[in-house]
Amino acid sequence: MSQPIPITPELVGEAYAALASGDPATVRQYWSQDLVWLVPGNHALAGTYRGLEAFLDFMRKTALLSNNSFRMDPITVLTNDEYSADVTHNLGFRAKTPGDATSPYSKLDIDVIHLLRWRDGKVVEGRGAVFGDGTTRFDQFWSQVAADGTRTDQ
């Protein structure tokens, strides 16, 4: 019987680095084909993504909507035998934001916690948690915005 793969902060960092690499073979080393990912909020990207391809499509959309500026800077990682929780500082700038650069829709600058469940060294489930006024800013940033600054979708 094989030993379980220990979930460590280093493993979590490697999984995110694999995701950032964009290389499908590297991503599959850390992210399960049957991944389920929950994006919180009230915006077009919110919802549950089932399967690695659906999750990667979501990631491509975030890159497109942020003109590849979206990033998650790690703050700390907690782990046990089945879960990891990572705190990140998320920063991004919305592509083609109407109005001036001071619009609440143009910049995302929040702290987030991602709760990941692991099996056999791969992420099988994930969800994000955004707190306080960060939830409003998260929704505003990812929502479609009309030229007059109003949200055009939920």
Looking at residue 47, its pLDDT comes to: 95
CATH code that applies to domain 9-142 = 3.10.450.50
Looking at residue 13, its pLDDT comes to: 97
Looking at residue 154, its pLDDT comes to: 41
Residue 116 burial class via C-beta count within 10 angstroms: exposed 0-12, middle 13-18, buried 19 and up: buried
- C-alpha to C-alpha distances, 35 to 31, 108, 142, 149, nearest whole angstrom: 7, 26, 22, 35
pTM score: 0.86
Looking at residue 25, its pLDDT comes to: 94
Task: State the Cα–Cα distance between residues 41 and 44, nearest whole angstrom.
Answer: 9
- Per-residue confidence of the chain (154 residues) as pLDDT tens digits? 567 899 999 999 999 999 999 899 999 999 999 999 999 998 889 999 999 999 999 999 999 888 899 999 999 999 999 999 999 999 999 876 555 555 656 889 999 999 999 999 999 999 999 987 888 888 888 887 666 656 565 4
Looking at residue 153, its pLDDT comes to: 54
* 3-state percent breakdown (helix, strand, coil) of the chain, nearest 5: 30, 35, 35
Looking at residue 38, its pLDDT comes to: 97
Residues 6+ apart with CB under 8 A from 10: none
Looking at residue 152, its pLDDT comes to: 62
